[in-house]
Chain A
């Protein structure tokens, strides 16, 4: 039997150093990664829209610079996915620790 977490407890949990560290490390990955993928993605319509001549240049056989850039977006998405999946394992460990501590605490309060 586990007690539900009381409203005031969330505030204490949010202030715990362990939780702050988890949030920080998450943000340290997610914020730059988001800025990067949005910028990399928007570079495609911007370059294609404003510099069509340059982007029409064939670079790999008949494949144009625009198509190569478009295809590279797929690679970019998959690489960021792989990096995030690897990083997320650390987040999982930290989150599980916080969950476990709190569950023990709640069980202790009941007994």
Chain B
């Protein structure tokens, strides 16, 4: 019954978005239309689209679940994700619109000419985007397992991948934008609706709600969810928090699929307006998820949210129920992954079931699918722009080649990237890939952000500096994640789960050292051009 309802609602969403794609396909016949929607998206629309692009299923279901289990420590994630937009607002959005064209590499190569820089920026764009894309696609199978267990997990991954490709290939950026907008609206309606229902349960008394949240039973123990330290504790807890916080707050400004949205608006003012709207929407949304998480913890109860317990809680649980230890151990051993965190993802749908019955659950589940679909579409078009525009058009064809060829390559690479993501997601679907989103943020913060900021701010910044900074940021993030507890468990060589606190300084120092060691007169001269363009909009792409 619930499966059918979910599928029907999801089908309605798909039908609407396909109509939008059909309408958009007529306008995606040039590279400017395909990558940048003719730069005609308004500030308000782009704000909704940024919110839609940013709030993935991982945040919608994941943060609600984390708050339901760990209270305040789960809420910490959303704080960093919102505050990170201040960096985008102050430093990135307007200069990017004024001085860029379609990709991050376009902005950087305005100053730092040469193939090496463009190739490195495109590589880093591709790395961040693909990691994020695979994380989202694997999420599809986790989500299907949780919400629609009868469907299996191969069919949904292939279906979501194929549908995303239809949006991107036929509708380009215009269709992708409207898919994001529609999805963001649905998401906001469902979260605010759930919050309202929670308030009704507590007779509109925030005080009663908070008192309930401060005394919840977790693993048989009374727990105050409003208190910090439930997820991050122990001697390294503080450092884990700080490292994660740094990556979250700086990483947002280096996510290529967010940055690409600023090329779709007509002016720097519109870019600014869109960040403003995005910050309002995303802030409201995160406050709502925190509310939902606490609501799920108080109303649904942990025995339903987490049928299989977290590793840490399991140990505690075994300590209290030694008779069940053997069975629990067997259960944990059966799962291939290190920490079965996916279980907490059920918090939001279960809350919906409790508050509104099967119809509301189906709606929330359908919204979760729509969310994944929209986010993967945005990621795919970004990855395709790095391959088609940066590698093929700018590096291999040296900027020559017709519009038809450019578009053909863009669409083909979208297809290849999509197929690759589907294949990777199928291969990795039984593994825990929670670390992938953290890795994407760490790479964005360590490789992309230092280079963008230095290119815009520092006259001495050189080609060598840019390449060194990006490669060091990229490689150190990968290496540290590979050595971290997320990949190596108890035998970890690097003790922190997020590499940010080490890899961000590495990226920044490498970029500065490379520039100081190898001067670049041409880049120093073109600094004037970038500065004037970025600040005044003279010569901006139209």
Task: Give the B-binding residues of A (Cβ under 8 A).
Answer: 4-5, 7, 10-11, 13-14, 19, 22-23, 26, 30, 33-34, 37-38, 41-42, 44-46, 48-50, 52, 55-56, 58, 61-64, 66-67, 70-71, 73-74, 76-78, 80-81, 84-85, 88, 92, 95, 98-99, 102
What residues of chain B lie closer than 8 Å to A22, measured between beta carbons?
535-536
Q: Is B303 in the interface zone, CB < 8 Å from A?
A: no
Pick the contact of B76: A4, A11, A44 (CB < 8 A). Answer: A44
Residues of B within 8 A of A41 (CB): 79-80, 83, 245, 249
A10 touches B532 (CB 8 A): yes
Instruction: Verify if B363 is at the interface (C-beta below 8 Å from A).
Output: no
Q: Are the CB atoms of A7 and B529 closer together than 8 Å?
A: yes
Stretch at the interface among B152-160, B235-243, B432-440, B508-516: B235-243
| B287 proximity list for chain A (CB < 8 A) | 71, 74
The answer to whether A30 and B538 have CB atoms under 8 Å apart is: no
Say if the beta carbon of B10 comes within 8 Å of chain A: no
B528 touches A14 (CB 8 A): yes
Taking CB atoms, residues of chain A closer than 8 Å to B86 are: 33-34, 37, 77, 80-81
Q: A48 is contacted by which of B228, B528, B529 (Cβ under 8 Å)?
A: B228
| Contact code string B250-270 (vs A, CB < 8 Å = 1, else 0) | 000000000000000000110
Other A-B contacts than A19-B535, A64-B227, A99-B538, 17 sampled, CB-CB below 8 A, are A5-B538, A10-B528, A38-B249, A41-B83, A41-B249, A45-B245, A52-B228, A58-B214, A61-B210, A63-B226, A66-B227, A70-B79, A73-B83, A77-B83, A77-B86, A84-B89, A99-B536
Contact A98 B90 (CB under 8 A): no
Q: Would you call the interface of chain B mostly helix, strand, loop, or mixed? A: helix
In the complex, whether B276 has a CB less than 8 A from a CB of chain A is yes
Cross-chain contact B83 with A64 (CB below 8 angstroms) = no
Q: Is the CB–CB distance between A56 and B242 below 8 Å?
A: no
7 contacts between A and B (CB under 8 A): A4-B539, A38-B249, A48-B76, A49-B237, A62-B211, A62-B213, A71-B287
| Chain B residues, CB < 8 A from A102 | 538
In the bound complex, how far is the Cα of B90 from the Cα of A14, in angstroms? 20
Cross-chain contact B76 with A70 (CB below 8 angstroms): yes
CA distance A38 to B202 in the complex (A): 36
- Determine if B309 is an interface residue (Cβ-Cβ < 8 Å): no
Q: Which residues of A contact B283 (CB under 8 A)?
A: 74, 77-78
* Residues in A neighbouring B82, C-beta threshold 8 A: 73-74, 77
Roughly how many angstroms separate A64 CA and B241 CA in the complex, as a whole number? Answer: 18
Return the chain B residue nearest A60 by Cβ. Answer: B210
Shortest Cβ gap from B35 to chain A (Å): 22
Neighbour of B536 across the interface among A19, A37, A58, A64, CB < 8 A:
A19
Q: Is the CB of A46 within 8 A of B242?
A: yes
Q: Which 7 A-B pairs have the closest CB atoms?
A: A49-B238, A14-B528, A62-B214, A10-B529, A45-B241, A45-B245, A56-B227
Chain A min CB distance to B535 (Å): 6
CA distance A10 to B280 in the complex (A): 37
Indicate whether B478 reaches chain A with its CB closer than 8 angstroms. no
- Expressed in whole angstroms, the Cα–Cα distance for A13 and B81 within the complex equals 37
Given A41-B79, A62-B211, A81-B89, are A70 and B72 neighbors across the interface (CB < 8 Å)?
A: yes
Task: Report A-chain residues with C-beta under 8 Å of the C-beta of B229.
Answer: 48, 52, 56
User: Which residues does chain A contribute within 8 Å of B226, judged by CB atoms?
Assistant: 58, 62-64, 66-67
Question: Which residues in chain B, 484-542, are within 8 Å of chain A measured between CB atoms?
Answer: 525-526, 528-529, 531-533, 535-539
Smallest CB separation, B124 vs chain A (Å): 23
In the bound complex, CA of A55 to CA of B75 (Å): 14
Q: How far does the Cβ of B230 sit from chain A's closest Cβ, in whole Å?
A: 10
A23 to B279, CA, bound (A): 25
Q: Which residues of chain B from 98 to 148 have a CB within 8 Å of any chain A CB?
A: none
Closest Cβ of chain B to A24, distance in Å, is 11
What A residues does B272 contact at CB under 8 A?
A: 85, 88
Q: Are B79 and A23 interface neighbours, CB within 8 A?
A: no
Question: Which residue of B has the minimal Cβ distance to A49?
Answer: B238
- Shortest C-beta distance, B270 to chain A (Å), equals 11
